[in-house]
Amino acid sequence: GAVVSQHPSRVICKSGTSVKIECRSLDFQATTMFWYRQFPKQSLMLMATSNEGSKATYEQGVEKDKFLINHASLTLSTLTVTSAHPEDSSFYICSARVAGLAGGPFPGEQFFGPGTRLTVL
Amino acid sequence: GNSVTQMEGPVTLSEEAFLTINCTYTATGYPSLFWYVQYPGEGLQLLLKATKADDKGSNKGFEATYRKETTSFHLEKGSVQVSDSAVYFCAREEVGGAQKLVFGQGTRLTINP
């Protein structure tokens, strides 16, 4: 099956620093990647949609200058949390959608990474 | 608004018990509906989906039927196993969007032997 990895799986940083999270599709090409944020015992909230080679589309209320997204290739998207503060502490999850209508039993399916736990001190 | 509401957890059952996790949605139109499962330490995996009214999605013994009359997509399994212990998320596709998903809050299921 299609595999999506995220790195790092866990990061602790000081307030004011920037943190980069990578999302990779390991065995397929993904024209579209999605970034989600999940608070404890809450649902996944979509932050932005990232298409390869173009600017990301951010959801309402998400600061694009705060959460920088780069989707430079069909297998890699990065999320950079700039000048992180404690309120940015959360679980960040990416997903990748298979190009075209491929995707095994569920065409167009999103495949999810295991998530990155960010703690800002 | 457009949202997904699912049964609050945690849910604890004994092995071989019958499982139901309720899910209702609000949306304009008829979005595709999904159930995702997240096993400990892993990413979300698509469990099943239904794309139109009265469709029944099924996989690994789980089933869910798209009911437009009750705007529901309840997840069921006749006989659960310890290996089914996970967090289950109901989701709907945003109508007209680039296959964006709106998720419920998740239901943690624990199956005891």
Angle among Cα B8, A10, A87 to the nearest 5 degrees reads: 65
Q: How far is CA B104 from CA B2, B13, B72, B90, in A?
A: 11, 21, 12, 5
Residues of B in contact with A97 (CB under 8 A): 99
**pLDDT tens readout for residues A26-67:** 988 888 899 999 987 778 899 999 988 888 999 999 999 999
Which of A46-50, A63-67, A106-110, B48-52 comes out lowest in average pLDDT? A106-110
Measure in Å the smallest separation between the Cα of A102 and chain B Cα atoms: 14
Would you place residue A1 in the very low, low, confident or very high pLDDT band (cuts 50, 70, 90)? Answer: low
In terms of average pLDDT, the best of A17-21, A68-72, A94-98 is A17-21
Nearest CA in chain B to A114: B43
Q: Which of A45, A108, A113 sits opposite B99 (nearest CB)?
A: A108
Q: Which of B44, B49, B98 sits opposite A49 (nearest CB)?
A: B98
What are residue B82's phi and psi, to 5 degrees? -55, -35
Per-residue model confidence (pLDDT) at position B112: 96
d(CA A79, CA A82): 9
d(CA A69, CA A65): 9
- How would you classify the pairing of strands B107-112 and B11-14? parallel
Nearest CA in chain A to B51: A106
Residues of B in contact with A4 (CB under 8 A): 43
Residue A103, pLDDT > 50, answer no
Residue to substitute from B11, B33, B46, B89, interface A, most A β-carbons within 10 A = B46
Per-residue model confidence (pLDDT) at position B97: 55
Would you place residue B96 in the very low, low, confident or very high pLDDT band (cuts 50, 70, 90)? Answer: low
Residue A100, pLDDT > 60, answer no
Angle among Cα B28, B33, B36 to the nearest 5 degrees reads: 140
Q: Percent of chain A scored above 70 by pLDDT?
A: 91
Q: Does B96 touch chain A (CB under 8 A)?
A: no
Task: Characterize A41-68 residue by residue with b for buried, 16 or more Cβ atoms within 10 angstroms of its Cβ, and e for exposed.
Answer: eebbbbbbbbbbeeebebeeebeeeebb
